Structure 1
């Protein structure tokens, strides 16, 4: 792989800059790296590197805390934080196209493979394997960490954490209805049929009727049983597909497999929650309510919400009693686990300093901040031990929530990271999936053609 962007790829990134002109105009300029800016540094032996990332105010604060700690421990390296909460991808690529990429950055799981192919990211394999802490064989939860970070056996980033979807539920609603809630123990996961029946019993119209009752009024629902996000490439839909025994992507060819029967059936199962089973609001109905799934869960308009583990960061604050559970099984049991990565850019003039910062972000100090709030799940084995859990599990975490980390993800989590060219391929899938959610087409009608077109793009993108 060339160490420089090809002319074609450079022009593509430059095109993104033009397309997002407004974003580019306000994109933060990367701080000078050591090699090009040491003369202006406070001291000759101090290196300054830049770090670009997104994040809400809590994440912003956590990064700033980490920088302060890192600079205290490593006084010869200074980190400039380029906080970019909006339009991050466009602004990142604007800096790349302008020749001013940051030294280190957040890299989304959907574009990591594309950036590796385009030689944007620094190969950190040798540094990682030589490190006595993060390079230890049992430091990360494996094999998932290596699965997500490596291409052809080489590391170009380290995962920030793990996140995965699961069930959130209003425990007060379950108690009032006398219904047993879902469990965080994967050995007690509901079957799809149990999940459907529970959602049916929890869905009520204004007259107290359930779906399937002759007088049920779907246009006048007081409480919905469940909400399951339907983004075509979203982790919630990928998890449903995996849970029906489909791989989503072929591990060897890295081409989509959703057009296989198990994949199409899983997608149709989710669509049927709205179209047939009537236990989930359609997108238009959800929008008309003017509430988030968190608000609906809190006020009892929604009994269960399928969302990412990161949502615990704010869902834990609801006034109703919050519970969580693992996702239901379909043909098998699985869940998609992912998160953004921390990478050094290949163009950095300070690769050693950039590595030291990426390494620090993979130590307990940084990860613990966000595990404690519920935003993250740990990727470090030490934090999954009984002793390690004491460092981050609090009374804000639902009962037995640690099983998500100790049982659910290690046994059933699959770390699928999207191949090069994924944003283009997903743009083909999205309208096809929307047609399924709207009831305009079935999964069997919409998916085969969309997958064929998306896979043609992925084949084309393999060569860069």
Structure 2
């Protein structure tokens, strides 16, 4: 899922400011009692009715994603209707850059979807306002599934008993690379096993060898021209996903467990600075300005504008479809190399008149058995544990296809299962404001005008009053 992942959620600061204002205006007319609207005692009965009823129902389902993702989702929702002929799905694709604004407008106009994708930035304030059904209530009443069937981290929770969303998919970051460019430079491929991860210094040296100017000199050569680069050694995006993944690998935190702004502390600031140095010191990565001319990380690798990309597994869909000669390594090591779990949330709106049918669709999409192309095609990784541990099930989606090259299992699948830690969107309270303010202060870091420590220290006074703590820490 191209993000800016999904959760995949990369949203410009100015757009978020507008959205947050709209959310505030919507608060007065929301269903504040939505969290208590469901009756757990009737949930199982209602689910059975949804499966057995022949009454025609149309679900409005909203989602974002690349053209390949759009096609994959439409195919999956049609397969759902084939299984449940009385339930049709109006699958509404919205470009991710416009998603939050359009969903906000739909809700304001009493045209909310029944279910769909949701960025963490918008999900947190809306769940406080009672806009989403408790997934745990539906799951606990389900005759087929239980909580232990899923990976631990994948729930968006406001408490131990209330999950306002489930990860749309299992997703994480890795080091994608174009094998042809490594072969041309006679450079060894990145390791896929986490215990063999490159050190940060080793990674930088490889990126220098793979960065070429218009005269064919690499970034370590005398006379290298940093103003005329035709091939970058590595690329990355500057939204919270890739940045927080780096911070986690340097054992830093975004919001500490005692409620402090963690990005201004040494471990986090050092990780952010290392990313900025790839752009401004080593000249091996494009700046945000240069990235504007590159449509996506998948295109950067496919078109050989970059040899490596620190990005999310959802680009397997685009790389596999384009038959790029690529593979995946584990992220370079700072103090450690662990995979950060990330995803957009899948939610069901309390305003839906068809929440039982919406739960059926949610289950269908979360279970690779019913929507195998979404997984086999490289877009998603499962949220259900058995699809990582049962060899027969693994073979159905993660083997013998172009979207899952040889390094995938070690660098992503097994790594996420055994070592995954959650992104801050799962547990940071008031995430929308914390994210918006934090990344409003990053621009000068990427431009080399301020160090990460300077920029984040300057933000402390502004952001600390907006920090409300973490959902994973008891009051």
Rounded Cα–Cα distance in structure 2 between residues aligned with 1:414 and 1:217: 39
1:245 is aligned to: 251
Q: Tell me the equivalent position of 1:94.
A: 105
CA RMSD of aligned residues (A): 3.0
User: Aligned partners of 1:78, 1:346: CA distance in 2, in Å?
Assistant: 19
The number of aligned residues is 422
Gaps of 5+ in 2: 1-18, 28-52
Q: Could you tell me which residue of structure 2 aligns to residue 6 of structure 1?
A: none
Q: Which of 379, 383, 393 is the equivalent residue of 2:387?
A: 383
Is residue 71 from structure 1 mapped to residue 81 from structure 2 by the alignment?
yes
Shift in alpha-carbon separation, 1:14–1:448, aligned structure 2, 3 A: closer
Tell me the residue number matched to 2:47. none
Partner Cα distance (1:55, 1:105) in 2: 12
Residue matched to 2:119: 108
Is the CA contact (8 Å cut-off) linking 1:167 and 1:324 kept in structure 2?
Answer: yes
The 8 Å contact of residues 16 and 94 in structure 1, kept in 2 or not, is answered as no
2:445 alignment partner in structure 1: 436
Query: Which whole-Å CA distance do the structure 2 matches of 1:109 and 1:367 have between them?
Result: 24
Match of 2:44 in 1: none
What are the equivalent positions in structure 2 for 1:266-277 lying under 5 Å apart?
266-277=271-282
Q: Establish whether residue 348 from structure 1 lines up as the match of residue 361 from structure 2.
A: no
3-state secondary structure, aligned to 2:264: coil
| 1:329 Cα offset (Å) | 1.0
* 1:284 counterpart = 2:289: yes
What does 1:3-14 align with in structure 2 at a 5 Å threshold? Answer: 12-13=22-23
Q: For residues 300 and 73 of structure 1, what CA distance do their matches in structure 2 show?
A: 42
In 2: Cα distance, 1:324 partner to 1:350 partner: 41
Q: For 1:89 and 1:292, how far apart are their aligned partners in 2?
A: 20
Match among 265, 268, 276 for residue 263 of structure 1:
268
Looking at structure 2, the residues matched to 445 and 10 of structure 1 have their Cα atoms a distance apart, in angstroms, of 27
- Aligned counterpart in structure 1 of residue 363 of structure 2, from 359, 364, 376: 359
- Counterpart mapping for 1:270-349 below 5 A: 270-287=275-292, 293-318=297-322, 321-349=325-353
**Conserved 8 A contact 1:333-1:412:** no
Instruction: Point out the more displaced range, 94-103 or 208-217.
Output: 208-217
TM-score w.r.t. structure 2 length? 0.79
Going from structure 1 to structure 2, the CA distance change for 1:218 and 1:75 (only over 3 Å counts) comes to: closer
Counterpart among 180, 185, 195 of residue 172 in structure 1: 180
Write out per-residue CA displacement over residues 159-185 of structure 1, whole angstroms, 9 at most, x where no aligned residue: 221222211112122223222111222
**1:140 paired to 2:150:** yes
1:203 maps to 211
- Distance between the aligned counterparts of 1:285 and 1:76, measured in 2? 49
**Structure 1 residue matching 2:311: 3-state secondary structure:** strand
Is the aligned partner of 1:413 residue 2:420? yes
Check conservation: 1:101, 1:347, Cα contact below 8 A.
yes
Counterparts of 1:173 and 1:76 in 2: how far apart (Å)?
A: 51
Using the alignment, how far apart are the partners of 2:118 and 2:245 within structure 1?
Answer: 21
Once the two structures are overlaid, the 10-residue window that deviates more, 321-330 or 311-320, is: 311-320
Aligned partners of 1:174 and 1:180 also within 8 Å:
yes
Secondary structure of 2:146's counterpart equals coil
1:52 aligns with 2:62: yes
Aligned-partner Cα distance in 2 for 1:404–1:342? 25
**CA distance, structure 1, for counterparts of residue 89 and residue 243 of structure 2:** 37
Instruction: Quote the offset at 1:383 in angstroms.
Output: 2.0
Q: What is the deviation of 1:339?
A: 1.4
1:103/1:251 Cα in 2 relative to 1: closer, same or farther (>3 Å)?
farther
Partner-residue secondary structure (3-state), 2:272:
helix
Is 114-123 or 397-406 further displaced after alignment? 397-406
Structure index of larger Rg:
1
1:395 pairs, out of 401, 423, 428, with 401
CA contact (8 A) 1:14 1:94 kept: no
Structure 1 CA distance for aligned equivalents of residues 147 and 468 of structure 2: 35
